[in-house]
Amino acid sequence: MERKKVIIVKDVYKTYHETKVPVKALRGVSIDIHQGEFTAIVGPSGSGKTTLLNLIGGLDRPTKGSIVVGDTDIATLSDNQLIDFRKEHIGFVFQSYNLIPVLTAKENVEFVMLLQKQPKAKRDARTAELMAAVGLADRMDNRPSELSGGQQQRVAVARALAPKPTFILADEPTANLDSKSTADLLDMMAKLNADEHITFVFSTHDQRVIDRARRIITIEDGKVLKDEWVQ
């Protein structure tokens, strides 16, 4: 059975005009991501990989081209529509965790569901399920400052998963983690991918992440240099 395409990037260009000389970050990128992929977008600094991830996530807009998530070309949405769309369909994991420091782990995980106005019973059940899945069922009431970096990143993954998004975008999620925390985090993500067919797309230069990916898309000078399945 053919897998469903969850992201279709077609002939995307991105040019920044913030300096006297325009910076062409992406130059005609086209890729499809299917449901259940565990894919790494790699390339040197300045290659365009983070720009591509930001465009897929609706955090920035392409200069030209289309980015279709499900049946929606997100490049055509208004700012308010894009905010609502991200909230429902896209989960984010960043290298700096981006947890809200005054909230507990539980409150951080349920935050997006609160914005979605989901009932308390549903939020509580989903949060408990996810905190157990990331191995932190006993740390629900801890604030970020009381958690290690690896634990904070696990909470960030649980938060990204909470609204049941179409896919998870992870931008250098292991950059601030030691080897054991990185291995534990990647084990957890791989298990979620295998057991629940959750789609993960990484932007990374971390070889530990690249070694786990089943597909590697190499970006250089704003273009797709290689696109290979490795597992």
Mean pLDDT, range 191-217, rounded to an integer: 93
On the question of pLDDT at 1 being above 60, the answer is: no
The candidate with the shortest Cα–Cα distance to 90, out of 100, 82, 98, is 82
What residue has token string 């349920």? Answer: 110
Q: Domain-by-domain residue ranges, the chain?
A: 38-58+77-229
- Full-model pTM: 0.92
Mean per-residue pLDDT of the chain? 93
Report the distance separating Cα 52 and Cα 7, nearest Å: 12
How much is the CA Rg of the chain, to the nearest whole Å?
A: 17
List pLDDT tens digits, range 57-107.
Answer: 999 999 999 999 989 999 999 999 999 999 889 999 988 889 999 999 999
pLDDT band at residue 2 using 50, 70 and 90 as cut-offs: low
223: exposed, middle or buried (C-beta count within 10 Å: 0-12, 13-18, 19+)? middle
Report the amino acid identity of residue 216: I
Report the distance separating Cα 170 and Cα 167, nearest Å: 10
Report the distance separating Cα 173 and Cα 92, nearest Å: 10
The candidate with the shortest Cα–Cα distance to 166, out of 62, 86, 48, is 86
**pLDDT in the model for residue 160:** 93
Report the amino acid identity of residue 206: D
Of 3.20.20.80, 3.40.50.300, 3.40.50.2000, 3.40.50.10860, which CATH number belongs to 38-58+77-229?
A: 3.40.50.300
List pLDDT tens digits, range 13-57.
Answer: 999 988 788 899 999 999 999 999 999 999 998 899 999 999 999
List pLDDT tens digits, range 95-133.
Answer: 888 999 999 999 999 998 998 889 999 999 999 999 999
**pLDDT in the model for residue 3:** 80
Cβ atoms within 10 Å of 37's Cβ, excluding its own:
22
Cβ atoms within 10 Å of 80's Cβ, excluding its own:
8
Cβ atoms within 10 Å of 134's Cβ, excluding its own:
25
**pLDDT in the model for residue 17:** 87
